[in-house]
Amino acid sequence: MASFTRGFGSRRREEDPRIPPGQYLTDDFPVLSAGPTPRVSLDDWSFSIRTETGGTTAWSWDELMALPIETVDTDIHCVTRWSKLGTTWRGVSLDTLFEKVDTSAEFAMAHSYGGYTTNVPMADLLGGKSWVAFEFGGAPLEPEHGGPARLLVPHLYFWKSAKWVRGIVMHEHDDPGFWEQNGYNMHGDPWTEERYW
Ligand SMILES: Nc1nc2c(c(=O)[nH]1)N[C@H]1C(S)=C(S)[C@@H](COP(=O)(O)O)O[C@H]1N2
Ligand SMILES: [Mo]
């Protein structure tokens, strides 16, 4: 897919229905981070889900790797207007992780090493829509792009795909995360241009 888009950097939506309104294509993979890149060793890494009752389920790196791993071919869209088509990731589906979690809360707050947060409704995380991803383009995810692992929610603007993800906290209400407190949309659907407030 990447070679198919090469040389069409200025191609717009009129010519390709995979490009949401107001986006342009890039072959690069820009790095957008609100702070320094945290370094987390795999020995110290864990991912946890805390529910509304305070119960916590956690996975070490090895435990995550022992779960079913999926390959995800998808397009990604940043609110700063770049889109990248045909990216390939490997990761564990949030459906798999939530199999072990008893919750009826409708909202999730993703938390990252380094302090970043972003809110995502459960309806946008489950049903084959999101992953904890640790490989990009056949190689371990680079630290700048969120390695060891990041959330991948490709049907929403890419700020919802929290880099260096360390866990999810369930919320009864849709509370704003980092960018959402700073003017970004609570939901972030690129197809309806849910960019800012
Ligand atoms: N922890 C963390 N995750 C983050 C960010 C961040 O600053 N910190 N930036 C978000 C934004 S605005 C975008 S567009 C994407 C960028 O991912 P990339 O740097 O891999 O392109 O990460 C998102 N996830
Ligand atoms: Mo972004």
Q: Which residues of 120-137 are buried (b: 16+ CB within 10 A; e: fewer)?
A: bebebbeeebbbbbbbbe
Judged by DSSP in three states, 23 sits in coil
Residue (of 30, 29, 26, 31) closest to 6 by Cα position: 26
Q: Which atom of ligand 1 is nearest to the CA of 31?
A: 19
Largest CA distance in the chain: 52
Quote the pLDDT of residue 123: 98
The separation between CA 17 and the C-alpha centre of its own chain, rounded to angstroms, equals: 22
pLDDT digits (tens, 9 = 90+) for 40-70: 999 999 999 999 999 999 999 999 999 999 9
The residue assigned the tokens 């072990």 is 100
Residue 78, Cβ neighbours under 10 Å: how many? 17
Q: How do strand 46-50 and strand 165-171 relate by DSSP bridges? A: parallel
Write down all domains in the chain, each with its CATH number in brackets: 48-192 (3.90.420.10)
Say what the pTM is.
0.94
Instruction: Report pLDDT digits (tens) over 170-187.
Output: 999 999 999 999 999 999
Tens digit of each residue's pLDDT (9 = 90 or more) over 89-108 = 999 999 999 999 999 999 99
Tell me, using a 6 A CB cutoff, whether residue 116 lines ligand 1: yes
Atom of ligand 1 nearest to the CA of 151: 24
Instruction: Enter the tokens of residue 75.
Output: 């397009």
Mutating to test ligand 1, I would choose from 109, 112, 120, 159 the residue with most ligand atoms within 8 A of its C-beta, which is 159
pLDDT attached to residue 7: 45
Tell the burial category of 84 from Cβ atoms under 10 Å away from its Cβ (0-12, 13-18, 19+).
buried
